[in-house]
Every structure is written in structure tokens, then in C-alpha cells.
Amino acid sequence: MDEPTRYDEKLGEILRQSATIFADRGFHQASVRDISAETGVSLSGLYYYFKSKEELLFLIQQHCFESLLVQVAAGLEGAVGPEARLRTLIEIHLGFFVANMPEMKVLSHEADALAGEYAARVLGLKRDYVALVRGCVEPLLPPDTSLDARTATFALFGQMNWIYNWYRPSRDPDAAGLARQMADLFIAGLHGARGSAADDAADDGSDEEKRALDVAPGALGAGGAL
């Protein structure tokens, strides 16, 4: 990984077009030749911009994720109060997703396609982001709830990230409308979810996340959750 390829304009263009191709065809199904054809850059010429197809995927995921994190961080600054924070986060996440659908589909759907150092770095970003989202969810959990913070957090991720499977701009609400609906649904759900059983008070948080997101070889999750 030594020297990460630097990020100039042309690379930016390649990443954008590649993301669309990966989103459409799937990472493994799309060939570097497809990218060559689409970008107009010769097959070997592409390797000036990335050193492997896997690095290309990494660059897409990294760039996309970092942009998302920047926007979220900026957005949360103006939000006061737990509910406002969570609403803001949902708005930004969905707004970014809808505005960058190919990249976000690739980020969500091709989590397992990276390995080694690349996987580790994206995983690091994901871990931070999951912790951040969880940090916005937990304050809204009723004190006596039986709802796990972890379950609730991933339920929210599921709601939001699944959209790449069904959302169609032409017939569904726009990003703002979608965000409002999902925020209403989820926040009302949290408020109303007060229950019987044991909660997850014993949860130490950081360590739990770590394990939850670790690559579990042979296990199903493989830590790929956003």
C-alpha cells in the first residue's frame, strides 16, 4: 500500500465512471477492460492511476466514505439535541446516498470484495461511522427499553442502505422526503419501544463494535456492515 496513488482530476473522473460500472455490473463482473472502454483510457494506461483493480475499488470506497464523513461532521455541528442530531444524520446519510447512488451501492454491496490492508482501512472508517451513528441512536433509547443499541443501530442502517435495491427517483419521494419518513418511522419506533427484557447495559461499546465488525473468517457477517 506504500504510496497511495494521488488524487488528481482525471483519477476523479475514472473513479466516478468506475463506480457506475461497478454498481451496474458488480465489482467482480466488471472487467478492467470495461472500464477502459467506458473511460476511453487504454487498458494499460489505467494502471497509471491505480495499481490493481482492488485498489480502484478501495479508492472509490475510501473517497466516497470520506466525503460522507465530512458532510456528516459538518452537518452535526449545527444540530442541537439528541433528536435533531439523529434526524440530521439520517438526512445527510440519505441525501448523500441518493446523490451518490453508484458509489454508495458499491460501498454497501461490495464490502467483501476488499481484503487485507484495503479492507482494514475501509473497515476502520466503517467502525468509526457505526460508532458515530450509534452515538446518535443511544440517547434516544428509553431507559427501560429492551431494544439493543446495536440492533437498533443496524436496523437503521438496514433501512437506509437497502434503498439501493428499490429506490427510484422517478417514483419515490426525493431524498428529503425519504429522510423525513425514515426519521419519523425510526424515531417514533425508538420512543415507542419500551419493553420487558434485559437491556444491553453491560455493553462496553467500543470493544463490542470492534468484535462485531471484525472480519470473522468463515462466518457470515464478515464485518462488512456499513
Residue pair 170/155 in contact by the 8 Å Cβ criterion: no
**Residue 16 binds DNA, judged by CB under 7 A:** no
**Residue 53 binds DNA, judged by CB under 7 A:** yes
The CA dihedral of 56, 133, 161, 192, to the nearest 10 degrees, is 170
225 binds, among a copy of itself, DNA, none (CB under 5 to 8 A by kind): a copy of itself
Grid coordinates representing 99 are: 446523490
41 vs 178 by CB, closer to a copy of itself:
178
The residue written with cell numbers 440492533 in the block is 151
**Residue 37 binds DNA, judged by CB under 7 A:** no
* Size of residue set near DNA by CB under 7 A: 18
Residue pair 14/49 in contact by the 8 Å Cβ criterion: yes
CA distance 142 to 193: 7
86 binds, among a copy of itself, DNA, none (CB under 5 to 8 A by kind): none
> In angstroms, what is the minimal distance from the CB of 182 to a copy of itself?
6
CA distance 62 to 132: 17
Among 17, 26, 38, 54, binds DNA (CB under 7 A): 54
Grid coordinates representing 64 are: 466516497
**Residue 69 binds DNA, judged by CB under 7 A:** no
194 φ, ψ (degrees, to nearest 5): -110, 140
Site of interaction with a copy of itself (CB under 8 A): 23-24, 26, 28-29, 101-102, 105, 109, 111-113, 146-148, 150-152, 154-155, 157-168, 171-173, 177-178, 180-182, 184-193, 195, 197, 208, 211-212, 216, 218-222, 224-226
> In angstroms, what is the minimal distance from the CB of 159 to a copy of itself?
4
31 vs 73 by CB, closer to a copy of itself:
31
> In angstroms, what is the minimal distance from the CB of 48 to a copy of itself?
11
160 binds, among DNA, a copy of itself, none (CB under 5 to 8 A by kind): a copy of itself
128 vs 184 by CB, closer to a copy of itself:
184
* Cα–Cα–Cα angle for 65, 69, 75, rounded to 5 degrees: 145
35 vs 133 by CB, closer to DNA:
35
**Of 192, 179, 72, which is closest to residue 130 (Cα–Cα)?**
72
- 3-state per-residue secondary structure call for 173-216: CCHHHHHHHHHHHHHHHHHHCCCCCCCCCCCCCHHHHHHHHCCC
The CA–CA distances, whole Å, from 54 to 32, 47, 134, 147, 226 equal: 10, 12, 30, 38, 19
Q: Which residues bind DNA (CB under 7 A)?
A: 8, 10, 30-33, 41-45, 47-49, 51-54
